[in-house]
Amino acid sequence: MKAGQLIKVAAVAGPTVWRIVRTAGPTLVRLRQENPDVFDAVQRQVTALAKARQERSGPTAVRRRLEVLRQQVTYLAGSADDAAEAERAAGWSRDLDGVERALPLVVSENRRTARRHLRRIERRLDTLSGQILEAFIGEQEEDAGADR
């Protein structure tokens, strides 16, 4: 997959993810040439985010997005080089836990309120997706540089 195609997939994953991939485009093009494995890892994550966001079935779709984001946070926590990176990953993990804890409450609400809360949760996940993906791309790039 080319970087341009990745940007199209990122658009499906949400506006925040799209902005991150578009901004990181030159870096991704360089990574694709210098280290295709790193580009493939980023591509897999963006594709997974896009697929998870396409599932529009309420709490089930949110859980799928949480699963994809947790995989990225787990990678970031495991590859943290300093306390600041580890704390940032721990913070994202706490944020994801909070979203997951909110889901049973949303299901128990009336339809209108539940829809409103799900939209709020989805916006929060869009923001977290962008932050986590940006860190994931940076960490992949950093790890690829350390391997040379």
Give the list of residues 6+ apart from residue 17 with CB closer than 8 angstroms, or none.
Answer: 10, 46, 49, 50, 126, 129, 130, 133
Helices (H), strands (E): how many in the chain? Answer: 7, 0
Token digits of residue 8: 């199209």
- Global pTM? 0.88
> What sign does the CA torsion over 118, 129, 127, 82 have?
positive
Higher-confidence position of 35 and 89: 89
What local confidence, expressed as pLDDT, does residue 128 receive? Answer: 94
Banded model confidence at residue 141, pLDDT cuts 50, 70, 90: confident
What local confidence, expressed as pLDDT, does residue 95 receive? Answer: 96
Range of weakest confidence among 65-74, 100-109, 119-128 = 100-109
